[in-house]
Structure 1
Amino acid sequence: MPGLYYEQFHVGQIFKHAIRRTITESDNVWFSALTHNPAYLHIDEEYCRTQSEFGQRIVNSGFTLGLMVGITVGDTTLGTTIANLGWDEVRFPKPLFHGDTIRVETEVLEMRASKSRPNQGIVIFAHRAYNQKDELVAHCKRSGLMMKAPT
């Protein structure tokens, strides 16, 4: 299985995820529709061209967050996570637009063994997404409840 067990992580470890993704208009419109988000900034090109500071639609931040975290799963938690405990300090310093390509890096910030679950531990990850210009477009901390290696 590609995910790592709790003991295979260490504080300061950095993953430069190989998967990159170009965001399409379909990604943005479908995600906005599926989540019932009618914000003009995501679905109305004419509004954005004439009334927004960006001059075009911006990618739904919920999609950006989900994609950023999703890209990290194969290298870190696939098959070895018990639960995603939460996302903290979620920020979007620059918008993404249709046609932008993102890459993601993950850093292990903290680790602690679970006191109530002896076969599990908590890992806190920092995920950072960059566009094709190497501009930071999203970042967050994510807490994962991870399996310890079977004995």
Structure 2
Amino acid sequence: MRAVVQRVKESNVSVDGEIISKINKGLMVLLGIENDDTEEDLDYILKKVTKLRVFDDEDGVMNKSLIDCDLELLVVSQFTLYGDVRKGNRPSYVRSAKFDEGIVLYEKFLEKLKELNIKFGHGKYGADMDVYLINDGPVTILLDSNKEF
């Protein structure tokens, strides 16, 4: 599982021109699910995202997490995070989870956020979405449950 995590001042996601979810200050996460991901991969990414210390403390040092600051999270599925262009110029998505498998882990990710009482919004899995954000910093972090980076 992969995630691109961006600290944002605000963010929203729309489908067919209609905003379906929006957040204020917090994190916007593009979440990519690989074809052999398990709940263990999900738990790793979930823990990293929610405990990532990228918000300023009282001294202006990035030392606080989303949870510490009681901020919001926007989760958007992003199968192209597994696009492979090492051979040619057209990305191959063979590592991306198939729809029926990926949506299960995506929805489980959202369920676990609810269990943690984190305020969050989300996109529509598999939809063509427009994502708007004001990147704060900018701060962008890449996560990979296989620790490829």
Fold shared per TM-score above 0.5: no
TM-score (norm 2): 0.24
Of structures 1 and 2, the one with the larger relative CO (CA 8 A, separation 6+) is 2
Q: Pick the structure with more strand per residue.
A: 2
* Structure whose alpha-carbon radius of gyration is higher: 1
TM-score (norm 1): 0.24
